[in-house]
């Protein structure tokens, strides 16, 4: 047997023992290694670097999105606060105006009560005048009948 004996797909390195390839038995600077394996390792590290960069970039993008959403929320709440302050100011002004109108509204209610009483009095007076007119017509008829009786 030689130094390199294959058993189950593993080769023996002359310096380090069983490995996957005799050319990669050592990673020491002076030891020769497989250029294809070096190229694959460089590709792997490059792809891993790209993957990690993408992961970090996506996390950064997520944080930027959250920051933008927070800024939009802050702006929206600020707008809502200004709107609420303006509504509160308007409500206070309306309450002041209403309070200044309360005496006038009370006068209007008093005038309305007086008008209702005058209306009731007018209806009573109308009814009384109709009864009085009916009595007058009745008396007038009686007077006319008596004159006729006297002249006859």
What is the tens place of the pLDDT at every residue in 19-56?
Answer: 455 454 445 555 567 888 889 989 999 999 999 998 88
Whether residues 24 and 8 fall in one domain: yes
Report the pLDDT value the prediction gives residue 147, as an integer from 0 to 100: 83
Whether residues 49 and 15 fall in one domain: no
Report the pLDDT value the prediction gives residue 43, as an integer from 0 to 100: 93
Q: Which domain holds residue 7?
A: 1-33
Whether residues 20 and 42 fall in one domain: no
Q: What are phi and psi of 148, to 5 degrees?
A: -70, -40
Whether residues 60 and 119 fall in one domain: yes
* Contact assessment for residue 4 and residue 11, using Cβ atoms and an 8 Å cutoff: yes
Whether residues 9 and 40 fall in one domain: no
Q: How crowded is residue 18: how many other Cβ atoms within 10 Å of its Cβ?
A: 13
Between CA 54 and CA 57, with CA 56 as vertex, the angle to 5 degrees is: 60
Question: How many domains does one find in the chain?
Answer: 2
DSSP symbol at 1: -
Q: How crowded is residue 23: how many other Cβ atoms within 10 Å of its Cβ?
A: 17
Whether residues 72 and 99 fall in one domain: yes
Mean pLDDT in order along the chain per 10 residues (152 residues): 44 50 51 80 93 90 95 97 98 97 96 97 96 93 85 74
Q: Is pTM, for the whole model, over 0.75?
A: no
Whether residues 71 and 129 fall in one domain: yes
Whether residues 27 and 17 fall in one domain: yes
Report the pLDDT value the prediction gives residue 27, as an integer from 0 to 100: 53
Whether residues 68 and 12 fall in one domain: no
Report the pLDDT value the prediction gives residue 149, as an integer from 0 to 100: 80
Whether residues 73 and 145 fall in one domain: yes
Report the pLDDT value the prediction gives residue 142, as an integer from 0 to 100: 87
Whether residues 46 and 109 fall in one domain: yes
Whether residues 52 and 28 fall in one domain: no
Q: Which residue has the tokens 């933008």?
A: 68
3-state SS record for 20-59: CCHHHCCCCCCCCCCHHHHHHHHHHHHHHHHHHHHHHHHH
């Amino acid at each position: 047997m030689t130094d390199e004996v294959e058993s189950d797909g593993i080769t023996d390195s002359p310096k380090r023992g069983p490995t996957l390839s005799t050319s990669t038995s050592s990673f020491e600077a002076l030891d020769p290694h497989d250029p294809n394996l070096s190229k694959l390792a460089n590709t792997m590290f490059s792809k891993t670097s790209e993957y990690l960069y993408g992961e970090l970039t996506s996390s950064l993008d997520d944080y930027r999105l959250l920051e933008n959403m927070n800024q939009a929320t802050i702006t929206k709440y600020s707008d809502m606060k200004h709107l609420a302050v303006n509504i509160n100011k308007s409500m206070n002004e309306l309450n002041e105006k209403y309070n200044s109108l309360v005496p006038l509204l009370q006068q209007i209610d008093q005038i309305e009560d007086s008008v209702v009483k005058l209306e009731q009095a007018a209806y009573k007076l109308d009814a009384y005048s109709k009864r009085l007119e009916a009595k007058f017509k009745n008396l007038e008829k009686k007077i006319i009948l008596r004159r006729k009786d006297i002249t006859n």
